[in-house]
Amino acid sequence: MGTLAALPMPPIQDPKRGLEARSRGTEVASEDFLFHLYRGSELLQDNRVHEAKEELELAIRLQPLDPKGQDLLGVVYFRLGMYPRAIEIFEQLVREYPDERTPRVNLALSYLKTGQAPHARQLLEDTVRLHPDNARAWGYLGLAYERMGDYLKAREAFERGGQEGMTRRMDELLAEAAAPPPRSRRSSRPPEPFREIEERVTEVTVPPARLPSVPPPPPVSLGAARLPSMLPPSLSEPPSLEG
């Protein structure tokens, strides 16, 4: 029987080197994330929203759960009119960070933009209860009340938020609502009764037309009429038989 050849043993890897390699990869990914995050933030400040969207989406691919990146990307989606995606991001941030003011205010503004004033009102009432000195939240709360037709609460919220122009606007709306409706001007003289048509339709008799009298024709004689001879004169007499 032949002897089995000894198989070469695989090299033993140092676990420390593996950890160091993974650590270096993590550091590189973290550096790339920070680069795209800061670059996207700068582009957003320069109002280059589409370019900011590309950078921040790259950052979120590297760090999907980073709250700062999510918040900036939500702002970008809001600026681009992509309200459902912005609402999805801000709702998640509010659930994960219920005491943070900025995600709440951003979510409330997104609700207002999409016609969801009751949701915005509830969220902002909780926000000003937690942060009573936040003028921005009070201003958006005033907008929510105004959209719902509660001008008195809207005026109070605008006043707390330092919105003087909107406060005066609410005063005007409240004054218009309290003023009695204007009376329509009508003549004191009673209206004349309707006049009936008094003319009657009379029957018109048309006399028969008189035709001129025509004399009767003369009587016709029934005697035999003389008819002219239709034969030529040479043939009126019978021919002679003598030569």
One domain for residues 37 and 93: no
- pLDDT-derived band at 17 (thresholds 50, 70, 90) equals low
User: What does the pLDDT average to over 174-192?
Assistant: 68
- pLDDT-derived band at 211 (thresholds 50, 70, 90) equals very low
One domain for residues 41 and 125: no
User: What does the pLDDT average to over 203-226?
Assistant: 47
Q: What is the CATH number for 112?
A: 1.25.40.10
Tell me whether residue 35 is in a domain. yes
Lowest mean pLDDT among 15-29, 93-107, 122-136: 15-29
Tell me whether residue 204 is in a domain. no
- Beta strand residue intervals within 157-241, DSSP E: none
One domain for residues 155 and 99: yes
- pLDDT-derived band at 180 (thresholds 50, 70, 90) equals confident
Structurally, the chain folds into a number of domains equal to 2
One domain for residues 157 and 173: yes
Q: Are 163 and 139 in contact (CB under 8 A)?
A: yes
User: What does the block give as tokens for 116?
Assistant: 């969801």
State how far Cα 243 lies from the chain centre: 130
Domain termination residue (choose one: 61, 80, 99): 80
Tell me whether residue 214 is in a domain. no
pLDDT tens-digit profile of 215-230?
A: 555 554 444 444 444 4
One domain for residues 99 and 151: yes
Sign of CA dihedral 79, 103, 33, 85: negative
Q: Hey, what long-range contacts does 70-74 have (CB within 8 A, 24 or more apart)?
A: 71/102, 71/103, 71/106, 72/37, 72/40, 72/41, 72/44, 73/40, 74/106
> Cα(81)–Cα(94) distance, rounded to whole angstroms?
20
One domain for residues 157 and 74: no
Residue 38 lies in domain:
25-80
One domain for residues 115 and 57: no
Q: Are 93 and 113 in contact (CB under 8 A)?
A: no
Q: Are 92 and 70 in contact (CB under 8 A)?
A: yes
Domain termination residue (choose one: 16, 46, 80): 80
Q: Look at the pTM and tell me if it is higher than 0.85.
A: no
Q: Are 98 and 92 in contact (CB under 8 A)?
A: no
| pLDDT for 85 | 96
In 3D, which of 73, 74, 148, 150 has the Cα closest to residue 116? 148
One domain for residues 63 and 110: no
Give percent of the chain with pLDDT exceeding 70. 63
Tell me whether residue 10 is in a domain. no
Tell me whether residue 225 is in a domain. no
Q: Are 121 and 144 in contact (CB under 8 A)?
A: yes
Domain termination residue (choose one: 153, 177, 201): 177
Tell me whether residue 227 is in a domain. no
Query: What is the per-residue burial (b if ≥16 Cβ within 10 Å, else e) of 158-184?
Result: bebbebeebbebbeebeeeeeeeeeee
One domain for residues 41 and 98: no
Tell me whether residue 16 is in a domain. no
In 3D, which of 108, 50, 41 has the Cα closest to residue 79? 50
One domain for residues 166 and 129: yes
Lowest mean pLDDT among 41-55, 152-166, 183-197: 183-197
Kindly state the helix (H) or strand (E) to which residue 114 belongs, with its residue range.
none
Tell me whether residue 108 is in a domain. yes
**Angle between the N-to-C axes of helices 151-160 and 135-147, in degrees from 0 to 180, rounded to the nearest 10:** 170
pLDDT tens-digit profile of 21-78?
A: 454 545 667 889 999 999 999 999 999 999 999 999 999 999 999 999 999 999 999 9
